[in-house]
Structure formats: C-alpha cells, structure tokens
Amino acid sequence: MGGGGRTTDVIHTDATRIGSWEKFTLIDSGTGTPVIQYGLLTTNGHYLTAVDSGGRTTDVIHSNATQLLGWEEFTLNSLGGGVYDIQTLDGHYVTAVGGGGRTTDTIHTDATRVGSWEKFTVSCGH
C-alpha cells in the first residue's frame, strides 16, 4: 500500500491490474548461500519485512525497512510455469489468505507446506 513505508495496512491482495504499488524489485541479499535469498524492494525504496522472520497471522508484514537484513530476506522457490512459493527466513511460507482478493487479513507467514494459497505468479517487467 502506498508504495511502501508502512507498518499497518501494508498489503492488499485485491488488485486486478499491475500498477506501481504491485511492482517489487528483487534484490540479491548477498548472503552467498546456494539458494539466493532476496529482498523485495517497494517502489519507494523500502523492503518488505516478515515480522519475527515469519510464523505469524497478525502484524505479519511491514514495508518500512530501509536495509536488507534477516527479516527482509525471502526465498522464491520455483514450482514451474512462472509460479513460486515464497519462504521467510525461518522457513515458513507466505500465504495469500483466501487465495487473494482481500483488503484485511491479507497475508500470513505461518504455513508449513505449500498449498494453493502459497503459490504466487511472478512476472518480469521493465
């Protein structure tokens, strides 16, 4: 929401088109691990944060971080066909509650397996 910089009302999943607030830049965290962990940079230069490194159903995501540290690291695992799961630092999966289309209770980070709500389509654009 608002291009980043928030700790409340951070993410909505009801957009039906890609505008500037729906675009994130993947930034290699530089940890040097075999599987790259990324920071998700918002359009106004903030990183998404998985609060407490994941495992939450309330106060889940913030978008006010200005540095790429541990809680800002996400792993995108390819499931094929441009579909990915997104893992937090502690190994939980990001969930689009209800499969998306929401403005409240939108994202959880407590999933321990990948179901349909934990699958995200990634499209690359300029």
- Structure confidence at residue 1 (pLDDT): 53
How many CA atoms within 13 Å lie on the side-chain side of 114?
A: 13
pLDDT, mean of residues 104-111: 96
- Structure confidence at residue 96 (pLDDT): 97
**CA trace torsion 38, 42, 47, 50 (10° rounding):** -80
Residue 44 Cα to chain centre, angstroms: 16
- Structure confidence at residue 126 (pLDDT): 53
Pick among 2.60.40.1180, 2.80.10.50, 3.10.20.600, 2.40.50.100: CATH of 20-121? 2.80.10.50
Instruction: Give domain limits for the chain.
Output: 20-121
**CA trace torsion 96, 92, 64, 79 (10° rounding):** -60
Residue with tokens 């994202």: 107
Side chain identity, residue 5: G
Q: Are 114 and 79 in contact (CB under 8 A)?
A: yes
Helices (H), the chain: none
Could you give the CA distance from residue 121 to residue 91 in angstroms, rounded to a whole number?
20
pTM assigned to the model? 0.91
Give the percent of the chain with pLDDT over 70: 97
